[in-house]
Amino acid sequence: MAQAKTLTATELRRVLDYVATRPHAARNRAIVLCGHWAGLRAGETASLRYMDVLDEAGQVRSEIRLDADQTKGRYGRVVFVAEKLRKELQRYVATTPDQGPAAKLFQTQKRGADGFTANTLAQHLHYLYKGAGIEGASSHSGRRSFITNLAAQGVGVRVLMSLAGHRNITTTQHYIDVNDDMKRRAVELV
């Protein structure tokens, strides 16, 4: 099976522009950016609760602590939240009614729903990418793009491994998509 497509900045913009035209735009924008700007898996994004993301004052945390039951490998980890993602999440939270601290951060549109599951969120992301005309993108595209973009900026693979929550460095290396710009910059170092 082919790996999920990594998105360029232009393709991510196209997805965000498409999302802006659809129902639940603020929610969907925040969901997409959790993958692209924090490297969260669809299942991790789906598992987020208000109490994971917001502090006692209702502000988005700079670090989100995921419990073992919220991660793929069943190992708790800390997700570092960039300022631009904090602002996006704060904007999203401002558009949602108070659900209580234990409620899922990202609710589906179905009445009485407890929020997305990993599977329904993966499907939802697939349809958002497809609607934006991005071929080969999947729920893992944000995560792969996050890791690849950081690698392209010179972030070391051990830091990437930690940010991704991987236990093995070779797993992280499989996420890094090499492109022509990276190769051009590399040869200019000689």
pLDDT digits (tens, 9 = 90+) for 83-124: 999 999 999 999 988 788 999 999 988 755 678 999 999 999
Instruction: Specify if 76 maps to a domain.
Output: yes
pLDDT of residue 1: 57
Instruction: Specify if 149 maps to a domain.
Output: no
Instruction: Give me 45's structure tokens.
Output: 């994004």
Domain that holds residue 53: 9-142
Query: Distance (Å, rounded) from C-alpha 90 to C-alpha 113?
Result: 22
DSSP letter (8 states) at residue 100 = -
pLDDT digits (tens, 9 = 90+) for 25-69: 999 999 999 999 999 999 999 999 999 999 999 999 999 999 988
Residues with Cβ within 8 Å of residue 45, at least 6 apart in sequence: 31, 34, 35, 106, 116, 121
Instruction: Specify if 190 maps to a domain.
Output: no
Please state the domain count of the chain: 1
Query: Distance (Å, rounded) from C-alpha 149 to C-alpha 176?
Result: 8
Instruction: Specify if 157 maps to a domain.
Output: no
Instruction: Specify if 173 maps to a domain.
Output: no
Which residues partner with 65 through β-bridges?
A: 78
Query: Distance (Å, rounded) from C-alpha 182 to C-alpha 162?
Result: 22
Q: Is the pLDDT of residue 2 over 80?
A: no
pLDDT digits (tens, 9 = 90+) for 129-176: 999 999 999 999 999 999 999 998 889 999 989 898 888 888 888 888
Instruction: Specify if 158 maps to a domain.
Output: no
Residue type, 189: L
- Cβ-based burial of 117 (10 A; exposed 0-12, middle 13-18, buried ≥19): middle
The CATH number of whichever domain residue 93 belongs to comes to 1.10.443.10
